[in-house]
Amino acid sequence: MGTHTQGKPVRAPKNPRARKPRRRRARLVDYPRHGRRGLRRWLPSWRQGLGGIAFLVGSLCCLFAFVYASVDIPDENDAARREANVYYWADGTQMVSTGEVNRQNVRLSEIPDAVENAVIAAENDTFYSDSGVSPKGLVRAAVNMVRGQETQGGSTITQQYVKNTYLSQDQTVTRKVKEFVIALKVDRKKSKQEILQGYLNTSWFGRGAYGIEAAAHAYYGIPARQLNPSQGAALAALLKGAEQYDPSVSAVNHHRSEARWQWILDRQVKAGLMKPKVREKFTTYPEPHKESRTTSLGGQTGYLVDVANKYIKQHTSLTDKDLARGGYKIHTTFDQGKVQRLKGAVERVLDRDIDPKKRAADKGVQVGAASVRPSDGAIVALYGGADATRHFTNNADTSGVPVGSAFKPFVLASALENGIRTSGRKSGGKQASGKGGASVEPSVGRDVPWQAVSAGSFYDDHGFLQGTGAPTPGSSSDITSTAGRIAAGPDSTHPTLRQALAKGGNATYVRLGKDVGWERVRRTAVASGLLEDSMARLERTFPVGTSTPSAIRMAGAYGTFANRGLQHDPYSVTKIVKDDETVEAEELARPGARRALDPDVADEAATAMRGVGTSSVHRPVIAGRTGDQDRLRSAWFTATTEELSTAVTMFRTSPDKPQLLPMSGVGGAGSQHGNVFPVQIWRDYAKGQES
């Protein structure tokens, strides 16, 4: 019983050992939920659900903000910057594109609107209104990764441009996230037109073609600016996967490509990018060429590019390293039709007359040829060998092949230009003397009618022109004025200089070259267009062709005769363009014609050369050739008209021997050491020019 104090009850003292009840500690997140049993214990409350979602969204936003801040727009990758060099024929059509990447960047203004619309309809019809990204595509990439599939799918044009230009082609979520972020930034930094232009220039279209310009050439053989809406839709179909949509690969591919082509045209109408009446015009699938890809340097193309590149490096400041970076549009002087006709002429003669399996002498036979326009020096055609990818030496531009009697016109021209210096001896072997006992070296000017003077009567037994005797220095009987009245005519025993030019007569020209002076002959040949480093040693045989000019230089030099003594250096490039600007315009400017020969001298030399070989083109032709008396290891024929000068050479080589092989027996016993074949090649080629 308790006690009371002053009327109040007094509680009994507590047991100090009694356990105090435990207080429940408050948790930041009540999960698992307190006071709940079973499944309800593990089900979050609605507040917890909303909080979790808010936390997740906030975390993702923070993560995205961090990634967005840390990922910058990188520099363009090397592959995106790399372009091909494109070479064009003289008529402006594409000859070939070269480089590791077949791409030629073009401005958006050069691409038809219909082609742009086809690409937008096929790839991203909200391109002009979206922010540059597709969140669905990013989610799809994550889902595909979880499933173990490729992460590609659903990218916008901006994202694809970012992938092509700034990133690798790896299919990973990391790359996809970077693509997403960079696309957002690119969309804010660049205009839609810049992005579309970049996309069209970097996309893969198959057949080795990167970009719409290369694709237009690869599939239709035309530049992008000439594509029509139907062709544009067919090319846009390739963006889904060129390996599956190139119609030339298989019938399945063709069906797939045609179906997508129709879908893209219809899609443009639905998106308001094409009027229905325009769509009705395109009912037939625009079949691409079987193969119009022009990236091969095989055949003659490699030799043409080789000559063009040499000219560029010789006449501009561009180097091999500059050209390797690509992006140059190089316009050449080469005529596609003439190149094909020259190639055909060579191949027909070789196939018909040269048989290495039948004759050992026919092994290793090589041909080089070139055509130059005399009026300005443009190289319009050449034949460098069977195939530039297998035979790397350019036979049209090589030195080392002696030119033989085809060199004689330069000796003759030098004699007419400079005069002939005799030994100055009198009968009895005594030296002719002038006043003071000085030796006399009479000269003959260009008025000498050398066409009527035989080799036998040209020089008498004492070293003077027949019938002139030793002139008195300074007298009116100087040979220059009297030689024009020499009446000795040609005979079969002693050929005239003209006959010696056409049919042998090496001894005559050996003597003529010596009397004119070897140095003077060399100066005349170089002034006419031959390179000085191709000239042989100045010795007895120099006048009969021990020098080794290229076919290009021989054609150009003979053009000097047809051009009445005006010489033009051969050239192969007319214009170089990069980024729509002409490059090295001043350095490429060709020098004007140089006076190499007096017009009368050039005319007389040309007259003497007419009749050498057989003309099949029914027009005046001046020509020079090697002949039976030449014992050099080559055969040449060079002929020129006012319109075209062409040089053809044939020789033999062996990989294990540095020197040329003998031409004896090439093509059989009647080939005159192979001399008939260059004439036949030229004749066949000349007929093609007439037809």
Residue 517 has pLDDT above 70, yes or no: yes
Q: 3-state SS string over 535-587?
A: CCCCCCCHHHCCCCCCHHHHHHHHHHHHCCCEECCCECEEEEEECCEECCHHH
In angstroms, the CA 337 to CA 688 distance is 10
CB 659 within 8 A of CB 651: no
The secondary structure of residue 432, as a DSSP letter, is P
One-character DSSP codes across 89-149: -TTS-EEEEESSSEE----GGGS-HHHHHHHHHHH-TTTTTS-S--HHHHHHHHHHHHHTS
Among the listed residues 106, 102, 99, the one whose alpha carbon sits nearest the alpha carbon of residue 219: 102
Q: 3-state SS string over 155-205?
A: CCHHHHHHHHHHCCCCCCHHHHHHHHHHHHHHHHHCCHHHHHHHHHHHCEE
Residue 341 has a pLDDT of 97
Q: Which residues of 551-568 are buried (b: 16+ CB within 10 A; e: fewer)?
A: bbbbbbbbbbbbbbbbbb
User: For the ranges 213-217, 252-256, 325-329, 611-615, which has the lowest average pLDDT?
Assistant: 611-615
In angstroms, the CA 17 to CA 355 distance is 124
* Residue 4 backbone phi and psi in degrees, to 5: -120, 140
Are β-strands 8-10 and 379-383 bridged in parallel, bridged antiparallel, or unpaired?
Answer: unpaired
Instruction: Check residues 168 and 641 and name the one with the higher pLDDT.
Output: 641
Residue 576 has pLDDT above 80, yes or no: yes
Residue 507 has a pLDDT of 85
In angstroms, the CA 333 to CA 31 distance is 84
User: For the ranges 73-77, 387-391, 442-446, which has the lowest average pLDDT?
Assistant: 442-446
Residue 485 has a pLDDT of 28
Residue 169 has pLDDT above 70, yes or no: no
Residue 484 has pLDDT above 50, yes or no: no
35 Cβ contact list (under 8 Å, min separation 6): none
Mean pLDDT across the chain, nearest whole number? 79
Residue 593 has pLDDT above 60, yes or no: yes
Cis peptide leading into 16, omega within 30 of 0? Answer: no
Average pLDDT over residues 315-321: 88
Look up residue 252 and give its amino acid: V
| SS3 state at 302 | helix
Residue 474 has a pLDDT of 34
pLDDT band at 445; cut points 50, 70, 90: very low
What are the distances in angstroms from CA 586 to CA 264, 313, 547?
Answer: 47, 14, 33
* Residue 23 backbone phi and psi in degrees, to 5: -85, 135
Residue 446 has pLDDT above 50, yes or no: no
Q: Which CATH class is domain 335-420+517-691?
A: alpha beta
Average pLDDT over residues 300-327: 91
pLDDT band at 621; cut points 50, 70, 90: confident
Give me 282's structure tokens.
């395109």
Q: What is the pTM of this model?
A: 0.74
Tell me the CATH architecture of domain 100-279. Answer: Orthogonal Bundle (1.10)
Q: How many helices (H) and strands (E) does the chain have?
A: 26, 17
Residue 78 has a pLDDT of 67
How buried is residue 496: exposed, middle or buried, by Cβ count under 10 Å (0-12/13-18/19+)? buried
Give me the residue spans of the domains in the chain: 100-279, 335-420+517-691, 422-494
Q: What is the pLDDT of residues 184-224, one digit of tens each?
A: 888 888 899 999 999 999 999 988 889 999 999 989 989 99
pLDDT band at 471; cut points 50, 70, 90: very low
Longest dimension (CA), the chain: 184
Residue 614 has a pLDDT of 57
Residue 248 has pLDDT above 50, yes or no: yes
Residue 570 has pLDDT above 60, yes or no: yes
